[in-house]
Structures are given as C-alpha cells and as structure tokens.
C-alpha cells in the first residue's frame, strides 16, 4: 500500500521510489485515481481516463522490469489543462461551444512527456477560454481552492494548480498568457513555471493569445523542474510560435533584485509582509539583494493593453463559433469579445506598442542583478462572489510581454493562512538560473 506521504510527495520522491522498487507505476496510478475519486468537491478534473492510465502504467512497469525505463519520469502521473490536446480526449478549453470535441493527436508538450513514459490521468478544469483568473467556470462548474472551500484556486489554470496541491497528480500542464500558471500556483501554494517565450511549444493548444501564450508545468517542489524542463524545453519546428532559445549561463550565486516600493503597486499587507520576510532571509544568509523603484512603470496600463491583444486574438481563434453560436459564450466572455470588436486597428497597434515597452522595463531591471523578485500576485486567494481584483495579473503579465522566464514558488505562511507566491524572473534563456537557484529556507517547497 502506498503511503500518503508518497502520494503527496513531489515528482522527485516518487521517481526515486519507482527506481528503488518501493512501489510500481500501477500501484501509484491506482492510488492517484483513488485520490481523484475521493475529491469530487474540488471539481479539478473534467475528464478522467482510468483505463488508459492503468494500461500506460502497466507498460511502464514492464519496461522497468526489463531494465528499459525511459528515464526519471517513466511511470509518473500527469494531468493536462483542458485547452491542451490529448489524443482521444476532449479539448473543451472550458467552453460550451467545444463540448464533445475530441483531439486527434497529442499536443507537442504532451507527446514529449508521454515519450518520457508519463502516465496521463485526464484533463483539468480551467477558466472559460483561458481568459480569467478565478476558474469560476459557468459551463463546467467552479474549481475550488484545496486550502479553503469557497475560494478561488486562481486561473486560468486553476484545475492544474488545485490538482497538484491536493495530491491528485504530481505534475500538471497549464497555460500562461498573463499569469495563468503562476497566479494559480501562488493561490494554491505550489510551484509554477512560465519559460521563455517559445521555449515550450504551444503546438496543439487552443490559443488565448498567439503572442503571449506559454505552456508551463506546475509541480509540488522547485527541484522537480530539473526533471521536467529537459523534456519540455525542446524546439518544435512545426509550431510558428516556438523559438530555439539559447541557454543563458547560470551565475554561481545570483544577485537578487527587489522592489523598494512594492506597497505602492497595490500589494496587500499580508503579501508585502511575506515578501519582505523572504528578502530578509536572503540577506541574513549573505546574499546580495538590491532594491530598485518600479513606480515609473505603469503595470496596470500594460495589463490593459495585453488584455486588448488577448481579446483580438480570441476573436480570431473562436471566429466560427462566435458567428454561429454566440449565445454559448458566457456573459463575461461576451463582454470581452464585444469590447474587442469595437476596437480599431490603431488601438490594437497602440496596445502592441505598450506591450513591447515591457522589454525595455525588464532590461532596466537586469542592469542591477541576475534575478528579479516580486510577489506573484498582489493578493492571496479570495472567496468566490467577491469582486475580482483588477490588479491580479499586474505583476505576472510583464514576463509574458517581455518573453522572459518567470517562476512562482510558495512562501512560508502561518498555519491556516492562505498561500503567498514569490515570483522570480530571469533574462531570456535564463531558466537554468531559476531552476538552480538556492531557495532553501526561502520558499516552502
């Protein structure tokens, strides 16, 4: 029988257990499916393929018995946000218009993980069309925050973060357009990575924005990224939005950059306190932390420009359904699309200029050090029904606009408190710096 500690353990611990023969992939998968079945209240999964998962697990065990394991991920479980294709499974993108649509083949990222031997459990809940950060889905039901019932897990990859945090899977794929991997990671207390633009192929996903979309992993610990990224970060020549990103050398000890005026950016007192405590811990162990002012950059204006770009892209991505069955779009999504329809080409061009200015601001940051530290979200998770904070994605969207890698890790909080995320940003190609960063004593994972 598999222990609860192993089920709630990270990929690294589970991989070691498989390698040592302490468990099998079939045992692990059965246990994982049992946990999923025991938590319908979370509404994290929209589709579970128990039969297919157990067949894949048995195949993994056979490879391992023959001494032919495919690597550290072979036999471990995976779940995928429902805007990323998995062959023979639905891809709803959280939309009523896409009910019953089944993918013909795996998305590139999914194929890479399956080739590494991972066992695919099913598809995960998300915010409608990936446009929103609450995962209060009007068509498939809201996904709950596993730390507190009635609270948002964040979005749009809310099901992905919820599933990882609640032990329903150890690795989930999400998508991130303006923070949709990192905000749920922060709200649910897990680790989420948005790599450099194009590093992880978006091929086989339903677009939210062609210029801002990223696919990214959510895991339980920072160390797991060293197992996952070599598999995911492979150039996809068939994807127009993929990039062959050059690796930036990782410094032996990064120089940290921080915001001297984080309070002025609309950050809640609880998040500010956790952020300042993390900076203090870095300084206490002798790390260099240089604080700079950020008030000269209008995060809110940039976020609004990014939203206009998203609205225009969604009108293209869903054009046929929007013309044929507009009544199947929620009131919220309809409002966004109607607004996008009214905008001129000049307004769109102006928004793109504002988006591009993020490159200049981020370059200014890295004149002062190697890794920028920010809160992931300006607030903690909030109750469904409360007003959605306008600034939810202010601190995350800049990484999408500049195309730089950004990582959210959970900070220590008091027992019973909702999670807080710390965001680390590196220059383009700097994933290795984020993955190798010494976060012992700083982050919770």
Kindly state the average pLDDT of the residues 364-382: 98
Burial of 280 (0-12, 13-18, 19+ CB in 10 A): exposed
Maximum distance among all Cα pairs of the chain, rounded to whole angstroms: 62
* Inter-residue contact 270 to 380 (CB < 8 Å): yes
pTM: 0.98
* Inter-residue contact 406 to 396 (CB < 8 Å): yes
Rounded to 5°, angle at Cα 149 from 144 and 155: 30
Which residues, at least 6 apart from 425, have a Cβ–Cβ distance to it below 8 Å?
A: 362, 365, 371, 372, 374, 399, 404, 405, 406, 407
Please report, rounded to a whole number, the percentage of residues in the chain having pLDDT higher than 70.
Answer: 100
- Nearest Cα to Cα of residue 132 among 157, 106, 96, 114: 157
> CB 40: neighbour CB atoms within 10 A?
9
- Long-range (24+ apart) CB contacts under 8 A made by 296-301 are 297/361, 297/398, 299/265, 299/391, 299/394, 299/395, 299/397, 299/398, 300/390, 300/391, 300/394, 301/354
- Nearest Cα to Cα of residue 84 among 178, 184, 219, 174: 174
Catalytic machinery residues: 81, 156, 180
pLDDT, tens digit (0-9, with 9 covering 90-100), for 174-229: 999 999 999 999 999 999 999 999 999 999 999 999 999 999 999 999 999 999 99
278 has pLDDT over 70:
yes
User: What kind and span of H or E run contains 309?
Assistant: helix 299-317
What's residue 444's pLDDT? Answer: 85
**214/247 Cα distance (integer angstroms):** 18
- Nearest Cα to Cα of residue 77 among 94, 43, 52, 102: 52
What's residue 114's pLDDT? Answer: 98
The residue count of the chain comes to 445
User: What kind and span of H or E run contains 119?
Assistant: strand 119-124
In 158-287, DSSP assigns E strands to 171-176, 191-194, 214-219, 256-259
Rounded to the nearest 5 percent, the helix, strand and coil shares of the chain are 40, 15, 45
Pairing of strands 141-142, 119-124: unpaired
Rounded to 5°, angle at Cα 180 from 199 and 232: 25
CATH 3.90.1300.10 domain extents, the chain: 1-297+354-445
- Nearest Cα to Cα of residue 358 among 154, 216, 212: 212
**26/7 Cα distance (integer angstroms):** 13
Q: How far is CA 302 from CA 169, 200, 332, in A?
A: 35, 24, 21
* Inter-residue contact 162 to 143 (CB < 8 Å): yes
pLDDT, tens digit (0-9, with 9 covering 90-100), for 43-60: 999 999 999 999 999 999
Pairing of strands 45-48, 119-124: antiparallel
pLDDT, tens digit (0-9, with 9 covering 90-100), for 8-47: 999 999 999 999 999 999 999 999 999 999 999 999 999 9
* Inter-residue contact 170 to 15 (CB < 8 Å): no
* Inter-residue contact 127 to 156 (CB < 8 Å): yes
What's residue 103's pLDDT? Answer: 98
pLDDT, tens digit (0-9, with 9 covering 90-100), for 138-186: 999 999 999 999 999 999 999 999 999 999 999 999 999 999 999 999 9
Ramachandran category for residue 301: left, alpha or beta (phi over 0 → left; psi -120 to 50 → alpha): alpha
What's residue 20's pLDDT? Answer: 97
Q: Which residues, in sequence order, are bridge partners of residue 205?
A: 84
**342/16 Cα distance (integer angstroms):** 55
What's residue 1's pLDDT? Answer: 76
Which pLDDT band, with edges at 50, 70 and 90, does 445 fall under? low
Architecture of 1-297+354-445 per CATH? Answer: Alpha-Beta Complex (3.90)
In eight-state DSSP terms, residue 223 is G
- Nearest Cα to Cα of residue 93 among 56, 48, 58, 47: 47
The span from the first CA to the last CA of the chain, in angstroms, equals: 25
371 has pLDDT over 70:
yes
């Amino acid at each position: 029988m598999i222990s609860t500690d192993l089920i709630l353990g990270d990929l690294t611990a589970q991989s070691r257990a498989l390698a040592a023969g302490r468990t099998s992939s079939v045992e692990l998968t059965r246990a994982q499916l049992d946990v999923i079945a025991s938590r319908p209240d979370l509404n994290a999964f929209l589709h579970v393929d128990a039969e297919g998962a157990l067949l894949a697990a048995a195949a993994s065990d056979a490879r391992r018995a023959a001494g032919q394991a495919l690597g550290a991920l072979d036999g471990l479980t995976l779940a995928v946000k429902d805007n990323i294709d998995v062959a023979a499974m639905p891809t709803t993108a959280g939309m009523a218009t896409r009910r019953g649509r089944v993918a013909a083949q795996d998305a590139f990222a999914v194929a890479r993980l399956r080739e590494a031997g991972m066992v695919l459990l099913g598809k995960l809940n998300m915010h409608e069309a990936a446009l929103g950060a609450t995962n209060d889905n009007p068509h498939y039901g809201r996904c709950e925050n596993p730390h507190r019932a009635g609270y948002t897990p964040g979005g749009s990859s809310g099901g992905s973060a919820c599933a990882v945090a609640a032990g329903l899977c150890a690795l989930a794929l999400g998508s991130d357009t303006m923070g949709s991997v990192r905000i749920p990671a922060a709200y649910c207390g897990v680790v989420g990575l948005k790599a450099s633009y194009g590093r992880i192929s978006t091929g086989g996903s339903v677009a939210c924005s062609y210029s801002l979309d990223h696919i990214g992993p959510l895991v339980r610990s920072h160390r797991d990224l060293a197992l996952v990224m070599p598999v995911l970060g492979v150039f996809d020549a068939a994807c127009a939005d993929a990039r062959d990103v050059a690796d930036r050398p990782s410094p032996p000890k990064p120089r940290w950059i921080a915001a001297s005026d984080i309070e002025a950016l609309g950050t809640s007192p609880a998040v500010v306190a956790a952020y300042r405590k993390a900076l203090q811990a870095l300084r206490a162990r002798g790390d260099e932390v240089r604080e700079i002012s950020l008030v000269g950059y209008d995060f809110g204006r940039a976020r609004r420009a990014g939203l206009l770009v998203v609205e225009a892209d969604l009108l293209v991505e869903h054009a046929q359904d929007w013309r044929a069955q507009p009544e199947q779009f929620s009131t919220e999504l309809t409002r966004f699309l109607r607004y996008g329809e009214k905008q001129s080409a000049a307004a769109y061009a102006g928004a793109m200029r504002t988006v591009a200015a993020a490159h200049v601001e981020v370059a200014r940051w890295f004149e002062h050090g190697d890794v920028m530290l920010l809160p992931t979200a300006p607030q903690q998770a909030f109750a469904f029904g409360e007003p959605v904070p306008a600034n939810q994605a202010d601190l995350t969207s800049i990484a999408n606009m500049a195309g730089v890698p950004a990582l959210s890790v959970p900070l220590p909080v008091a027992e019973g408190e909702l999670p807080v995320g710390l965001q680390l940003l590196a220059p383009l190609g700097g994933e290795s710096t984020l993955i190798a960063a010494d976060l012992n004593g700083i982050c919770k994972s």
